[in-house]
Amino acid sequence: MEPVSLDAAKSILRVDGTWTDMTIANLIRSGRQAAENFTNMSIPIQTLELAFDSYPPKTVRLPKGPLISLEAITVTDRDGVTSSIPIKNYIQDTFSSMIVLKDSANIQTVMLQEANGFIVEYKAGFEDVPEAIQDAIMLYAKAQFDCIPPEEWITSFEKLLFPYKAVGI
């Protein structure tokens, strides 16, 4: 589900009727994707997977936040046998969108398959999408709908999203 409703976008765009609904829905989706690309965050709640070819380091920074929950960790050995690692072995740092293997964890290792042998499944996104992100998506949709050149709106789009931009250190 997109963070901006079709009705809200139609109101901002001053559009009546249904003849442009598909176009506006596509612009909302494109605006959300542009916002996700700029912030490096998941905006609506999504289940994501991160795959490793070998055992990851003790601390794993998840590429898309904000982390809501760690759902599963699975390993696949060289024979194709899949098993789970209990998620209770990991600290879930929702503030920094990372997971950390506990010092007390006792994980039995196996020879992983050559590709994607270690998979982290997690949920990320905003339970309540901040208003500034919704405004940025609406700005994107309006600019595209009205054919406004990017140099006239992109700075405002980025300023609305900047507080939510995930940066690595």
Q: For the whole model, what pTM was predicted?
A: 0.84
Within 10 angstroms of residue 139's Cβ, the number of other Cβ atoms is 20
* Spans in the chain with pLDDT lower than 50: none
Q: Rounded to whole angstroms, how far apart are CA atoms 36 and 89?
A: 30
CA distance 65 to 37: 12
Residue with token string 């490793």: 52
Q: Is the dihedral of CA 15, 18, 144, 154 positive or negative?
A: positive
From residue 3, alpha-carbon distances to 7, 9, 136, 137, 163 in Å are 12, 11, 11, 8, 18
- Strand order of the sheet with strand 98-101? 59-61, 98-101, 90-93
- Residue 4 burial (CB count, 10 A): 25
**CA–CA separation, 155 vs 38, rounded Å?**
12
Question: How confident is the model over 15-35, as pLDDT tens digits?
Answer: 988 899 999 999 999 999 999
pLDDT value at residue 101 = 94
pLDDT tens, residue by residue, 63-74:
999 999 999 999
| Domain extents in the chain | 6-42+128-164, 46-124
Residue 169: predicted pLDDT? 59
Handedness of CA 147, 150, 151, 152 (dihedral sign): positive
pLDDT value at residue 109: 84
| DSSP state, residue 145 | H
